[in-house]
Structure 1
Amino acid sequence: MSSSNPQMLEDALALYDAANSKDPNIEMDEGKEVPKELLYSKRMLDMLSRFIPDAEDVAKLSVAAQHIERWKSPRSDYPMNRKGYHLWRTNLYKFHADTAAALLEKVGYDEETIERVKLAIGKKNLKTNTDTQVVEDIAALTFIEHYMTAMYEKFTEYDEDKWIDIIIRTWKKMSPAAHDFALSGSVKLPEGLVPVIQKALAKAAA
């Protein structure tokens, strides 16, 4: 079990922020322009602090780097089909894990901590690796609260059945604790999709 080192954690997160601050893609947050992946990292850490207030440093280092420097590996570099999409995602996991690991080495983290972070960001052994499941839970909760509505507005060609499928697939990746958290009122659900979410969860439970 890796121990907590507040200064190392602060230094590592600062390196993450410096890297993500270079994202040329900008999003608006409370009226301010913010680099896209910097904002995503902050939202992931915020969700982690709400879901697991006493989370380990490994969890913080993992969720904060899940999309680190993602713009350097655009989806357009791969064939625009299902095979291309899965290859892109697989390579992204490794890219993010290796990028985070290199920054953690600079800070001086031990090999055990770095390997745990790499496995979590790389989405290895979901459902059996606790670190990986935490990253998956936080990613799903953050998607629900901050990004599901934007996706809904972007993909207007998706019918209700398609959205039910998306919600069910997201739900199945989450732990029972994340399910409870999402339904407890602790996560802001996208208002326009609440009826569809209810149908999806009813179908998933059937």
Structure 2
Amino acid sequence: MKKSEKFNAAIDLFDRANAEDPNREIFEGKEYAKELLYAQRMTDRLAIFSPDTDEALQLAVRCQHIRRWEIPRDQYDMNRVGYLKWRNDLKVFHAEKAGEIMHEVGYDDQIIEAVKFLLLKKQLKKNDLTQKLEDVICLVFLEYYFEKFSEKYSEDKMIDILRKTWKKMSSKGQEAALELDYSDHSKALITKALA
């Protein structure tokens, strides 16, 4: 399906914004801006998980972490309350940034609000597109970030994280998660978490 000029312009500006991330990640021998690589992984996973999906979801997936580094976690209390406040502030920040870029390339208010609705994770478990976004987020986390994450935390903490991740996913998302390629260490944690 041919993408509109507006869509391509928005994706380009999302990517340019994320290319400014000072945090770097090496993947398959190449260095990337961390949030740009994340955005590309999100789009790639959506294409596998739900190839014929809504334009608003395709846009939301690409900008879900837009300029995330501008609101660092360490600016908040290092406890559950601080974490939840940080996550909520990020959602609002991402929705606003995405809306500004979409407005700039000529999208109307209706689709801008649809993308913001998704980025704010409204009606999770009730809205099909919000749920698909959450499934893609969880799948990308499990595929690319879980293993490294598990090196930093205790087994009990990782099992708790896995159970919370699993709960957020649809049954289709859970099925897709079980088909991912994991290390033996990650497989063992997942088996324990789901037991």
TM-score w.r.t. the length of structure 1 is: 0.90
TM-score w.r.t. the length of structure 2 is: 0.95
DSSP-derived class of the 1:34 partner: strand
DSSP-derived class of the 1:154 partner: coil
Quick one: which amino acid aligns to residue 73 of structure 1? I
1:128 is displaced (CA, Å) by 1.2
- Output the CA distance in 2 between the equivalents of 1:164 and 1:78: 25
> 1:15-26 residue pairs with structure 2 within 5 A?
15-26=13-24
Q: Is 1:181 aligned to 2:179, yes or no? A: no
Equivalenced residues, count: 194
1:162 is displaced (CA, Å) by 2.3
- Output the CA distance in 2 between the equivalents of 1:81 and 1:167: 19
Counterpart position of 1:33: 31
1:112 is displaced (CA, Å) by 1.4
Q: Would you identify which runs of 4 or more consecutive aligned residues in structure 1 move more than 3 Å?
A: none
- Output the CA distance in 1 between the equivalents of 2:123 and 2:189: 30
Q: In the TM superposition, what whole-angstrom CA distance separates every residue of 1:52-96 from its partner, at most 9, and x where no partner exists?
A: 111221111011111000010001111222211111111010000
> 1:124-163 residue pairs with structure 2 within 5 A?
124-155=122-153, 158=154, 160-163=155-158
Structure 1 regions of 5+ residues with no counterpart?
A: none
Q: In the TM superposition, what whole-angstrom CA distance separates every residue of 1:107-134 from its partner, at most 9, and x where no partner exists?
A: 1112111111101111111111222111
* Contact kept in structure 2, 1:145 and 1:190, CA below 8 Å: no
Counterpart position of 2:192: 199
- Output the CA distance in 2 between the equivalents of 1:69 and 1:129: 26
Counterpart position of 2:77: 79
Q: In the TM superposition, what whole-angstrom CA distance separates every residue of 1:174-195 from its partner, at most 9, and x where no partner exists?
A: 0111112222x2x223432101
User: Which range moved further: 162-171 or 142-151?
Assistant: 162-171
Q: Percent of pairs identical after alignment? A: 46
CA RMSD of aligned residues (A): 1.3
- Output the CA distance in 2 between the equivalents of 1:109 and 1:190: 43
> 1:98-137 residue pairs with structure 2 within 5 A?
98-137=96-135
> 1:51-62 residue pairs with structure 2 within 5 A?
51-62=49-60
